[in-house]
Amino acid sequence: MGAGAAAVALDACTPDVAKKAGKASTSNKDLHGEMLQNYPGIGVLGYGCMRWPQKRNEQGRNVIDQEEVNRLVDYALEHGVNYFDTSPVYLGGDSERATAEALNRHPRDKWKIATKMSVFNATTYEACVEMYHNSLRIFKTDYLDYYLLHGIGTLNDFNTRFKDTGAMDFLLKEREAGHIKNLGFSFHGNQEGFDQIIALHEQYHWDFVQIQMNYVDWEHPNGRNTRADYLYAELDKREIPIVIMEPLRGGALSDVPAQIADQLKAREPERSIASWAFRYVGSFPRVLTALSGMTYMEHLQDNLESFLDFQPLDDEEKKFLLDVADLMEDYPLVKCTACNYCMPCPYGINIPGIFKFYNDNITADTFVKSKEQKDYARKRRKYLLAYNEAIPTVRQADHCIACRRCERDCPQNIRIPDELRRIDKYIESLKRETIQ
């Protein structure tokens, strides 16, 4: 169990799991060293503000733990992390406020803010402009360092949301006026869609592009999503700086299946599992910053260790990681990054929670494979008990009616209801003991 952006701040139990994972690797220590910068003034470790720590307030609702956010931000800035990526929709719409509150305790020139125009459905010019102005207001600033069109996948998508509404023209004007220092977009989709949107570079000049890149997505993206090696090459060719999202695949690359973890540890026993993923993305010179959603201090410290006095991977090591990614394809893992875009499910299903439970049991080898296996009865009982502990029965997979609303929101292109039914079938086979 390595540290990393593993935390899914969904409900009370998940942060605890993450906390445990973090504590295992690093304790409080003084970190020294030079933060890696591929472009002057920007630390390659960037802060993803989608996974701030949460706590329960008096009403029993999860709210952001502001005190801890402040502590994390202070520590990050002190160690050269100065790129903060948020969005008006993250954490139930509270991420921008919490991030701004922490950052505004520091001089404006010490930090770079990246936020997004997070409109997803048919919208109006007014709604777009209001969202933009609201971000400026929240950060008490008259310029945004980085501004993104949030999650576009096809030209059609871009047209309906940003071009036809007039939002794009507005943003271009704002860039000209110096209120937006860099204008770009974040991308999730297939290759055809990417080609269409990157072709707009000549017309709009994208200052940067945010893509999902890590040693698994390099060759094995989920579903119809585009391979990261292709995305990188296309952007590199055009000399467009690249912001990396999900360098850890939502923590999946800090908690890999036990047999694979053994291989990584055999090579670098002192380093965390997560460090491999960071050193992988940090080794590409076109990377402006790699965003990690560091929920706890342990995550931040562990990630910093990779980027302070950075040691790039050599070609042999990169090849080794790609082989590891090949191996990971053999496990029935759900490629969920716990981004929570599918949430809330209107029927109350805890989608990322179920996927995390399922994946964690595979990586921790607590997955029940067959009746013949050693300790079958105990493992089965433990698995079923743990499932009820992790997910309240009314939020379990068998309550999914496959309305498929979640599917269109999933940036990873996961067929969520099919995966939920696959998991439910597995759990049902455990309950009825019909597993072979």
Partner 1 sequence: MLRKIRILLAALFLIGITLLFIGIGHNWWGWMAKLQFLPSLLALNLVVVIGVLLLTLLVGRIYCSVICPLGVFQDLIIWIRRKGEKLFKKKKTHKFKYLNEHKWVRYGVLVISIISLVASGQMLIALIAPYSAYGRIVRSIVAASTGSVTLPLLITGLITLIIICVCAWIWGREYCNTICPVGTTLSLFSRVSLLRPVIDESKCINCGKCGRDCKAGCIDTKNHKIDYSRCVDCFDCIETCQDNAISFRYVAPCKCSAGKEEPDKVDQGRRAFLVTGAVVAASAAAHAQDHMHGGLAEVVGKKDPDRTERLVPFGAGSVKRFYDHCTACQLCVSACKNHVLRPSSDLEHFMQPYMSYENGYCRPECTACSQVCPAGAIKPVSVEQKQTIKIGVAHVNLDLCLPAQGKDSCGNCAYHCPSGAIRMVRQQGSRNQIPTVSEDRCIGCGACENLCPSRPISAITVNGLSIHHNA
Enumerate binding residues for partner 1 (CB under 8 A).
9-11, 62, 89-93, 118-121, 339-341, 343-348, 350, 393-395, 398-403, 421, 431-433
169's CB contacts (< 8 A; 6+ apart) are none
State which residue, 199 or 401, has the beta carbon closest to partner 1.
401
**Angstrom distance (rounded) from CA 48 to CA 85:** 5
Taking the chain, what is the end-to-end CA distance rounded to the nearest angstrom? 30
What is the nearest approach in angstroms of partner 1 to the Cβ of residue 88? 9
What is the nearest approach in angstroms of partner 1 to the Cβ of residue 28? 29
What is the nearest approach in angstroms of partner 1 to the Cβ of residue 388? 10
Long-range contacts of 95-99 (CB under 8 A, 24+ apart): 95/49, 95/50, 95/52, 95/64, 96/49, 96/135, 96/138, 96/139, 97/138, 98/49, 98/52, 98/64, 98/66, 98/69, 99/49, 99/52, 99/69, 99/73
State which residue, 155 or 343, has the beta carbon closest to partner 1.
343
What is the nearest approach in angstroms of partner 1 to the Cβ of residue 270? 35
Write the Ramachandran bin of 376: left for phi over 0, alpha for psi from -120 to 50, otherwise beta.
alpha
State which residue, 90 or 296, has the beta carbon closest to partner 1.
90
State which residue, 91 or 240, has the beta carbon closest to partner 1.
91
What separation in angstroms does the CA of 363 have from each of 254, 372, 397? 10, 20, 20
State which residue, 120 or 331, has the beta carbon closest to partner 1.
120
What is the nearest approach in angstroms of partner 1 to the Cβ of residue 40? 33
State which residue, 137 or 381, has the beta carbon closest to partner 1.
381
What is the nearest approach in angstroms of partner 1 to the Cβ of residue 340? 4
Angle at which helices 66-78 and 95-103 cross, to 10°? 50
Identity of the residue numbered 123:
T
